[in-house]
Amino acid sequence: MKRRPWYTGLYAQTMIGIVLGIAVGHFFPKAGVALKPLGDAFISLIQMMIGPLIFGILVQGIASMTDMKKLGRLGLKTLAYFAAVSAITLIMGMLAAQISHAGSGLSLLTGSLSAHQAAHFAVHAGTPGFDSWLLELIPQTFVGAFVHVSVLPIVLVAVLCGFAMARMGEAGKRAGEAVELATKVFFGIVRIIVRLAPIGAFGAMAFTVGAYDLASLSSLAKLVVAFYAVAILFVVLVLGIIARLSGFSLFRFLAYIKDELMIVVGTSSSETVIPDMIRKLRNLGSADSTVGLVFPMGYSFNNAGANIYMTLAVFFLAQANSVHFTFGQEMRILLVSLVASTGGAGVPGGVFVKVAAMLSVVPQIPLASLALLLGVDKLMSECRALANVIGNGVATLAVSRWEGEVDAPQLRRALRGEPNPEAGDQFSQPATTQVQEQTVIASRSTRSSG
């Protein structure tokens, strides 16, 4: 079978879109800014399908489970994993600020800042607590779960529906078949939308480069470098160890999801790849209930990139304002940030709101200092999104391995692109991937016959 041209692949097309976007934003800044709707439209199209997909996958998985105790066990394991990894990322962000001293020497700059720039985030900020998390979890109406900015209400509604269908006997099976059919339609819609990723990446990158004068942000370069360094260290070291203990190679996994990572870079949003990540994780052999529960929940409980950014930002602002914390204050900030790290997925400016909430327990740092971060936040958003996606993908595979849903050899074969007969839901596999797998099989047959 003839090999498909390289430029027909989504990875290559998205890369071309990013490069063209950078060029347009650099040489024609006004035109680049005007292209912002292209990126926003693509993100909105993907967000439109996130709720129905998560609902359909999770309902199918739970309704088909014969052991309801597994769901409780799965939820506890997932939350324990998220809590441990979140603590690690928050500590890494704090240590990165203390080692790099990125905020030192900026005291003159902080004195000229206006509180007006940070006022928007201050309005929405508050000391995080259980009540706010609970209100975010429970939607006001059934349909309201699908228009909520968080995935948690969708997970709650899906779990309830799955339990109800599992107890309905034959009627529940028929309802499950209807949900499965609807989910196939949703995946078909996503396959159409994802082909627009290069256009979305082009518009988003053109706007980013055209709207921000990178040269004027050189005084904050140490913060950007420190964030990227600790984020890369987290992915390679922490996630690499977790992947190794789970029986697979992190770098092989990164190669497996390279198309999704390129879309994240282009759009600066981790939500744009939720549908495709769910599909790919299912094709690796993870159960529907595990993928449907662990991966979406990670967007509320396991935002590794956002966690690193939060503590790094607070300690950076402390250094910029010549504020020195005691050990007790540092521990208090860590505890508050651990609570603040949950929820808020998908909220515009959500990370800033969390940082503002953390500053409320450190009155020595003026809230106007948040304006320091506004200029360079866009430069770090891509890295935050990448760390979030990779972290949640590794978490899903790790929990799946703990549950015994897929063995290590099977997982490694799937990551190498070999067909996995035990992984269902091949209906959701894009035609391009199917052709690639058929090409591999045909080439192997040719070699063996020769």
List, for residues 174-215, the tens digit of each pLDDT value.
Answer: 998 898 899 889 888 888 888 888 898 898 888 877 876 555
Residue 218 vs residue 151, higher pLDDT: 151
Average pLDDT rounded to a whole number, residues 25-48: 86
Residue 151 vs residue 306, higher pLDDT: 306
Query: What is the pLDDT, as a whole number, of residue 148?
Result: 63
Query: What b/e string do you get for 184-220 counting C-beta neighbours within 10 Å, with b at 16 or more?
Result: eebbeebbebbeebbbbbbbbbbbbbbebeeeeeeeb
Tell whether the model's pLDDT for residue 102 goes beyond 70.
yes
Domains of the chain, start order: 13-444 (1.10.3860.10)
Query: What b/e string do you get for 332-352 counting C-beta neighbours within 10 Å, with b at 16 or more?
Result: ebbebbbbbbbbbbbeeebbb
Token pair of 127 as six digits: 């000391």
Residue 344 — φ and ψ, nearest 5°?
Answer: 80, 5
Taking the alpha carbons at both ends of the chain, their separation in whole angstroms is: 16
Tell whether the model's pLDDT for residue 113 goes beyond 70.
no
How do residues 254-304 score in pLDDT, each as one tens digit?
Answer: 999 998 998 888 877 787 888 889 889 988 988 888 888 888 888 878 888
Q: What is the pTM of this model?
A: 0.72
Average per-residue pLDDT in the chain? 78
Residue 283, H or E segment = helix 274-283
Token pair of 306 as six digits: 């956002």
Residues in Cβ contact with 323 at an 8 Å cutoff, skipping those fewer than 6 apart: 362, 364, 365
Query: What is the pLDDT, as a whole number, of residue 441?
Result: 39
Of the pLDDT bands very low, low, confident and very high (cuts 50, 70, 90), residue 229 is: very high
DSSP string spanning 104-160?
TT-HHHHTT--THHHHHHHHH-----HHHHHHHHS-SSTGGGGTSSSSHHHHHHHHH
- How many CB atoms are located within 10 Å of the residue 446 CB? 10
Token pair of 355 as six digits: 């940082």
Average pLDDT rounded to a whole number, residues 205-234: 79
Average pLDDT rounded to a whole number, residues 376-404: 88
Q: Are 243 and 361 in contact (CB under 8 A)?
A: no
d(CA 152, CA 156): 6
Query: What is the pLDDT, as a whole number, of residue 436?
Result: 42
Q: Are 292 and 283 in contact (CB under 8 A)?
A: no
- How many CB atoms are located within 10 Å of the residue 35 CB? 21
Query: What is the pLDDT, as a whole number, of residue 424?
Result: 46
Tell whether the model's pLDDT for residue 398 goes beyond 90.
yes
d(CA 225, CA 348): 24
Tell whether the model's pLDDT for residue 375 goes beyond 80.
no
Residue 360 vs residue 178, higher pLDDT: 178
Average pLDDT rounded to a whole number, residues 81-91: 92
